[in-house]
Chain A
Amino acid sequence: MNPQIRRLFFVFAALFLAVIGIGTYWLWRAPDLEARQGNPNEVVRQLTIKRGLVLASDGKTVLAQNRKQKVRGRTWFLRRYPNRGLTAQAVGYSTIERSRTGLEESLNDYLTGSNANLSTLVDRVGDKLRGLTQEGNDVVTTLDATAQRAAMQALAGQCGSVVALEPESGRVLVMASSPTYDPNLIEKSFRRATNVSAPCTPASPLLNRATQGPVFIPGSTFKIVTAAAALDSRRWSASSTFEDPGYCIEYGKKVFNYADQSGPHVYGTVDFGEAVENSVNSVFCDLGKALGVRRLLDFTKRFGFYDDPPLETPGEERSPSGLYSKGKLFDPKDPSQVDPGRFAFGQERLLVTPLQMAMVAATVANGGVLMEPHLVDRITSPDGDIVTRTKPDEVRRVMRAKTAAALTPMMVQVVESGTGTAAQISGVDVAGKTGTAETGRDNENDTGFIAFAPADAPTIAIAVFLQDQDGTGGSTAAPIAKTVLETLLRRIT
């Protein structure tokens, strides 16, 4: 019987080794299992890591930090946001129950120090054996706390968003979204945190209106895109003249210019600059028809339309700008499905993010070259070493330098004497363009204003968009842009 017993022992040895084998397999699968919902090990593990700080561009203003709590002999690090709603959408939150959003989610690996390479992994095992706490890296953002605060104050009580960029680097100086929420409340009372009153429905305070949705109709701010396409085609120049009868004819029907009590304006003979300055719909309508939907659409894509705007926030918190049909991005195969005239002055079914429109302004400001926007300036290790630093990155040249140079004085005129005079800043030339878009609801317009300053050597590009306004872009969005621009100009110079 002994040979049988010996064989049976080897069978057991094989079976038990298989158990150790599958244990090893699960260990190897651990990173994938950690990502699954409902894994308490992962939740607790994250809590025992001292997450890095999230800081404003000054490296001092704290946007996210930790609060220590002792639980069963372990130190848990719970997240605190001392500035509450100030950057709640861009920075996001990190909680036990609700997972994470914003930079807290997309930079989680850095913030938890899990950005693994071999040497950090070896350090980690050493730290664990010595019972040391795993520490994350600090994230220094490009956000200017003072300007961000100014933007949030200006937006208070309204539904809208402000995005300010540095044209030559793509640094995001301001990314504000209103209404906002207090990320400190998310853990304890999600309903209380998100139940905010706002003059729009749904209020959606978690929505990052700057990049997500998209929720805004660009209206006449889009004329800068059309104008750039027209000038870049060389079929028109700054000195081209147009005949405005007060309307343009599309599909046999008249589409009128913006109207006030005295009826639709009729401008007669205007040059390109005057058409931009006074936002003459009929001129852009005709330009759109002459350019055609295909060319106009291709030109928007050069600005980044139809792509998720490039940024460090999570992909699901960024939406492409473009034509939308039935809630979905719509890239027409057949140009006849789109009305070229209305498209050209920013109506049709166009929806944009303020970030995208700030990129349009920044491209003109930067001589026609689009820089990739970024929210993170640098990431530093607990010892203070730089882990990564974002370098300015060119996306592409969108238009000829000459086109940008021709557009700038036209946009200066808008603020000097056109529809955007509310954005004037004494001693500084501001180049801008207003937008007032009909939403189809009475007295509820989407208003917008895109601008850059100083016009001769731009350091800031900005986009302001508001929902459900009864005024125009010039009367509602332009003053907010002025406030934020002034704050930023004071800080830069």
Chain B
Amino acid sequence: MTARNRELLNLFVVGLLTACGFASVYLASQDIPEFSTTSLSYAGFFLALFLAAHLVVRYALPLADPYLLPIAGLLTATGLTMIYRIEPGQAFRQGVWVVGGVALFAGVILFLRDHRRLDPLKYTCGVGAIVLLALPALPLIGHTVNGARLWIQVGPVNLQPGEFAKVLLVIFLAGYLRDNRELLSMGFGRAGIPSPKHFGPLLLIWGLAMLVLFQSNDLGGGLLLFSIFLAMLYIATGRWPYIAVGLALFAAGSYVLYHLRDHIANRIAIWLDPWQDPYDSGFQLVQSIYAIAGGGLFGQGLGRGVLISDSGEPYIPFLETDFIYSAITNELGLAGGAAVVLLYLVFAYRGFRIAMLADDGFSKLLAAGLTATLAIQAFIIVGGVTGLIPLTGITLPFVSYGGSSVIANFLLVGLLLIVSDHVNRTAER
């Protein structure tokens, strides 16, 4: 079976699951269960959208990896179904964002064609990332949601530029690290300490991450950016002391901020003991844990979970964004939650596989960096809402409600598929 036919088959399976999910939510929402085609039309629309994406890939990237797009599709469908279950009105808006994401995905594939064209643009991308990160700090357009200054308003839409900055950062790092990996690897004895000048870029990015953290109050975003950097630095140099020093720096920086900002101090205290203040500061995490534990092994059933109170308010604030994983686990159980987590792991496996097959440094670093970005982001939020690590608000890729996140992640998959096609093409030759 060719890669594209395999992808098509996978997408049909995803479409079937989507239909079941929507139908289940729809039936559960009615007092007297009555079937309607409305619920199926969502699934039909969804399948059509991904078939279009598939056709673009079939036309432009015939040899690309056949699993990444279906995984992205299944995660998106899971997210849409949960959002539809929590707040049907938002599902429509999210659907529009998904259309936008797929359009960008198709656009990048059709117009970029070859990711190596990004190589000369690496510094532009680096500067672009910084600009995007700085945008919310501007007066007028920037604004604050839930204590974090991460948003800009452009006309009627709110955007989170940080979601796009991460992709640009990966492109910059792929180029920069490819050029400087020899230099950065030098100066080590066996497990020696690198000379201070090699720490330059590390310190710069660390400073940037800390600035993001301090300026926007966004621990999750700062952690994500810095982790992407450390992961790529490790891949490029193979020097674990970078990781050690980097993590130590991040911890030290956070420690200082810990004392400067109550926001961060709270997060860590809550993580250490969620029940010290279960009705106020610990409320979100405690309710999230109740939802996860309440799901049992196979969940309460789609559409039948304990998510919304009689008054129509969700039991966990930010249920459809930060806490969507808790909602999924409540309704689909530990099995459903584990399935979602394993989808990210399979995504990481396929993405890293592309990187390992690539024969040039830029492709390798780009594919590995993009893959690591998605995996790290998923881990930060899923680990956060389950109480494994301190909770920091960040979207669950493809699943959480949020336009910037969905669009940026489709861009990420598009780039990854371009690299994949290129890698498989060179391997065939």
- A and B associate: yes
Q: Which A residues are closer than 8 A to B by beta carbons?
A: 1-6, 8-9, 12-13, 15-16, 18-20, 22-24, 26-27, 29-30, 33-34, 36, 38-42, 44-45, 70, 72-74, 128-129
Measured between beta carbons, the chain A residues less than 8 angstroms from B49 are none
- Report which of B236, B304, B348 forms a contact with A73, defined as CB distance below 8 A: B304
- Closest beta carbon of chain B to A78's beta carbon, Å: 13
- Report which of B235, B298, B382 forms a contact with A5, defined as CB distance below 8 A: B235
Q: How far is the CA of A377 from the CA of B364 in the complex (A)?
A: 75
Q: Are B293 and A30 in contact (CB under 8 A)?
A: yes
Q: Are A30 and B388 in contact (CB under 8 A)?
A: no
- Interface residue? B296 (CB, 8 A): yes
- Closest beta carbon of chain B to A161's beta carbon, Å: 37
Q: Are B352 and A8 in contact (CB under 8 A)?
A: yes
Nearest B-chain residue to A7, judged by Cβ? B234
Q: Are A9 and B349 in contact (CB under 8 A)?
A: yes
- Report which of B231, B286, B292 forms a contact with A8, defined as CB distance below 8 A: B231
Q: Are B345 and A5 in contact (CB under 8 A)?
A: no
Known: A41-B291, A70-B31. A16 touches B297 (CB 8 A): no
Q: How far is the CA of A67 from the CA of B291 in the complex (A)?
A: 27
Within 8 A of A (CB), among B308-356: 309, 315, 329-330, 334, 337-338, 341-342, 344-345, 348-349, 352, 355-356
Measured between beta carbons, the chain B residues less than 8 angstroms from A41 are 290-291, 293-294, 306, 330
Q: How far is the CA of A425 from the CA of B279 in the complex (A)?
A: 60
Known: A73-B28, A73-B304. A26 touches B238 (CB 8 A): no
- Closest beta carbon of chain A to B427's beta carbon, Å: 14
Q: How far is the CA of A4 from the CA of B233 in the complex (A)?
A: 10
Q: Are A33 and B289 in contact (CB under 8 A)?
A: yes
Q: Are B33 and A39 in contact (CB under 8 A)?
A: no
Nearest A-chain residue to B283, judged by Cβ? A38
Known: A26-B386, A33-B289. A4 touches B29 (CB 8 A): no
Can you report 18 A-B residue pairs in the complex whose CB atoms are below 8 A from each other? A2-B356, A4-B238, A5-B364, A8-B372, A12-B372, A16-B375, A19-B341, A19-B388, A20-B338, A23-B338, A27-B292, A27-B297, A33-B294, A38-B290, A40-B306, A41-B290, A70-B31, A73-B27
- Interface residue? B70 (CB, 8 A): no
Q: Are B279 and A38 in contact (CB under 8 A)?
A: yes
Measured between beta carbons, the chain A residues less than 8 angstroms from B342 are 16
Q: Are A8 and B368 in contact (CB under 8 A)?
A: yes
- Closest beta carbon of chain B to A416's beta carbon, Å: 63
Known: A2-B356, A6-B356, A8-B368. A73 touches B31 (CB 8 A): yes
- Interface residue? B36 (CB, 8 A): no
Nearest B-chain residue to A31, judged by Cβ? B293
- Interface residue? B253 (CB, 8 A): no
- Closest beta carbon of chain A to B198's beta carbon, Å: 17
Measured between beta carbons, the chain A residues less than 8 angstroms from B31 are 70, 72-73
Nearest B-chain residue to A33, judged by Cβ? B293
Q: Are A73 and B30 in contact (CB under 8 A)?
A: yes
Count of inter-chain pairs, beta carbons less than 8 A: 131
Measured between beta carbons, the chain B residues less than 8 angstroms from A12 are 345, 348, 372, 375, 379
Q: Are B33 and A19 in contact (CB under 8 A)?
A: no
Q: Is the interface of A mostly helix, strand, loop or mixed?
A: helix
Q: How far is the CA of A436 from the CA of B287 in the complex (A)?
A: 55
Q: How far is the CA of A1 from the CA of B233 in the complex (A)?
A: 11
Nearest B-chain residue to A13, judged by Cβ? B345
Known: A8-B368, A16-B344. A42 touches B361 (CB 8 A): no
With A23-B334, A38-B286, A42-B294 known, 11 other A-B pairs at CB within 8 A are: A5-B352, A16-B375, A19-B386, A20-B341, A22-B387, A23-B338, A27-B292, A27-B295, A38-B290, A41-B290, A128-B298
Known: A27-B296, A33-B289, A41-B290. A8 touches B334 (CB 8 A): no
Q: Are B290 and A40 in contact (CB under 8 A)?
A: yes
Q: How far is the CA of A42 from the CA of B291 in the complex (A)?
A: 10
- Closest beta carbon of chain B to A334's beta carbon, Å: 44
Q: How far is the CA of A331 from the CA of B344 in the complex (A)?
A: 65
- Closest beta carbon of chain A to B295's beta carbon, Å: 8
- Interface residue? B383 (CB, 8 A): yes
Q: Are B29 and A72 in contact (CB under 8 A)?
A: yes
- Closest beta carbon of chain B to A10's beta carbon, Å: 10
- Closest beta carbon of chain B to A295's beta carbon, Å: 50
- Closest beta carbon of chain B to A84's beta carbon, Å: 26
Q: Which B residues are closer than 8 A to A by beta carbons?
A: 27-31, 33, 231, 234-236, 238, 275, 278-279, 286-287, 289-298, 303-304, 306, 309, 315, 329-330, 334, 337-338, 341-342, 344-345, 348-349, 352, 355-356, 361, 364-365, 368, 372, 375, 379, 382-383, 386-388
Q: How far is the CA of A337 from the CA of B286 in the complex (A)?
A: 51
Q: Are A30 and B33 in contact (CB under 8 A)?
A: no
Known: A12-B379, A15-B379, A41-B291. A22 touches B309 (CB 8 A): no
Measured between beta carbons, the chain A residues less than 8 angstroms from B279 are 38
Q: Are B292 and A23 in contact (CB under 8 A)?
A: yes
- Closest beta carbon of chain A to B175's beta carbon, Å: 15
- Closest beta carbon of chain A to B79's beta carbon, Å: 17
Measured between beta carbons, the chain B residues less than 8 angstroms from A34 are 293-294
- Closest beta carbon of chain A to B350's beta carbon, Å: 11
- Closest beta carbon of chain A to B328's beta carbon, Å: 11
Q: How far is the CA of A1 from the CA of B382 in the complex (A)?
A: 28
- Report which of A16, A40, A72 forms a contact with B315, defined as CB distance below 8 A: A40
Measured between beta carbons, the chain A residues less than 8 angstroms from B341 are 16, 19-20
Q: Are A3 and B238 in contact (CB under 8 A)?
A: yes
- Closest beta carbon of chain A to B36's beta carbon, Å: 14
Measured between beta carbons, the chain A residues less than 8 angstroms from B334 are 20, 23-24, 27
Known: A27-B293, A73-B304. A9 touches B352 (CB 8 A): yes
- Closest beta carbon of chain B to A25's beta carbon, Å: 9
Measured between beta carbons, the chain A residues less than 8 angstroms from B292 are 23, 26-27
- Closest beta carbon of chain A to B168's beta carbon, Å: 21
Q: Are A73 and B29 in contact (CB under 8 A)?
A: yes
Q: How far is the CA of A34 from the CA of B290 in the complex (A)?
A: 8
- Closest beta carbon of chain A to B371's beta carbon, Å: 9
Q: How far is the CA of A402 from the CA of B361 in the complex (A)?
A: 103
Nearest B-chain residue to A30, judged by Cβ? B293
Q: How far is the CA of A286 from the CA of B296 in the complex (A)?
A: 67
Measured between beta carbons, the chain A residues less than 8 angstroms from B337 are 20, 23
- Report which of B27, B294, B364, B383 forms a contact with A1, defined as CB distance below 8 A: B364
Q: How far is the CA of A41 from the CA of B304 in the complex (A)?
A: 11
Measured between beta carbons, the chain B residues less than 8 angstroms from A16 are 341-342, 344-345, 375, 379
- Report which of A4, A19, A30 forms a contact with B383, defined as CB distance below 8 A: A19
Nearest A-chain residue to B234, judged by Cβ? A4
Nearest A-chain residue to B278, judged by Cβ? A38
Measured between beta carbons, the chain B residues less than 8 angstroms from A3 are 238
Nearest A-chain residue to B343, judged by Cβ? A16
Q: Are B303 and A73 in contact (CB under 8 A)?
A: yes
Measured between beta carbons, the chain B residues less than 8 angstroms from A40 are 287, 290, 306, 309, 315
Report the 7 A-B pairs with minimum CB-CB distance, sorted nearest first.
A41-B294, A30-B293, A26-B293, A73-B28, A39-B290, A4-B235, A41-B306
Q: How far is the CA of A437 from the CA of B411 in the complex (A)?
A: 86
Known: A72-B28, A73-B33, A74-B304. A8 touches B386 (CB 8 A): no
Q: How far is the CA of A12 from the CA of B375 in the complex (A)?
A: 7
Q: How far is the CA of A286 from the CA of B313 in the complex (A)?
A: 70
Q: Are B361 and A1 in contact (CB under 8 A)?
A: yes
Q: How far is the CA of A6 from the CA of B297 in the complex (A)?
A: 32
- Closest beta carbon of chain B to A42's beta carbon, Å: 7
Measured between beta carbons, the chain B residues less than 8 angstroms from A33 are 289-290, 293-294
- Closest beta carbon of chain A to B218's beta carbon, Å: 21
Q: Are B238 and A1 in contact (CB under 8 A)?
A: yes
